[in-house]
Amino acid sequence: MHYRLLGLTGLNVSVLGLGGSPLGGVFGAVDEAEGVRIVRTALDCGVNFLDVAPFYGNTRAEAVLGRALRGVPRHSYILATKVGQYCSGEFDFSASRVTRSFDDSCARLGVEYVDLLQCHDIEYADLGQIVGETLPALVRLREAGRIGHIGITGLPLKIFRAVIDQVSPGTVETALSFCRYTLNDSALTALLPYLTAKRIGVINAAVTGMGLLTDGALPPWHPATPAMIAGARRAVELCQRRGQNIVTLAIQFSISNPSISATLVGAVTEEQVRENVRAADSPIDFELMAEVLKELQPIKDHNFMRGRPENRDLLIP
For residue 291, the SS3 value is helix
For residue 72, the SS3 value is coil
Read off the pLDDT of residues 28-64 as tens digits, 9 standing for 90 and up.
788 899 999 999 999 999 999 999 999 999 999 999 9
Burial class (CB in 10 A: 0-12, 13-18, 19+), 75: exposed
Terminal Cα distance for the chain, rounded = 38
Question: What is the model's pLDDT at position 303?
Answer: 81
CA dist list (Å): 258 to 6, 15, 150, 184: 11, 9, 21, 19
Read off the pLDDT of residues 167-196 as tens digits, 9 standing for 90 and up.
999 999 999 999 999 999 999 999 999 999
- Give the residue-averaged pLDDT of 123-142: 98
- Give the residue-averaged pLDDT of 146-158: 97
Query: What angle (nearest 5°) sits at the alpha carbon of residue 122, between those of residues 121 and 125?
Result: 125
Burial class (CB in 10 A: 0-12, 13-18, 19+), 8: middle
Burial track 231-263 (b if 16+ CB lie within 10 A, e otherwise): bbeebbebbeeeeebbbbbbbbbbbebeebbbb
Burial class (CB in 10 A: 0-12, 13-18, 19+), 314: exposed
Burial class (CB in 10 A: 0-12, 13-18, 19+), 156: buried
Question: What is the model's pLDDT at position 27?
Answer: 77
State the Cα–Cα distance between residues 29 and 87, nearest whole angstrom: 17
Q: Residue 23: name the closest of 214, 266, 221 by CA.
A: 266
113 has catalytic annotation:
no
Question: What is the model's pLDDT at position 316?
Answer: 62
Please give the mean pLDDT across all residues of the chain.
95
Question: What is the model's pLDDT at position 88?
Answer: 75
Q: pLDDT tier at 216 (50, 70, 90 boundaries)? A: confident
* Domains located in the chain, CATH noted: 3-311 (3.20.20.100)
**Active-site annotation holder among 3, 56, 77, 181:** 56
- Give the residue-averaged pLDDT of 207-224: 89
State the Cα–Cα distance between residues 140 and 144, nearest whole angstrom: 6
- Give the residue-averaged pLDDT of 84-111: 95
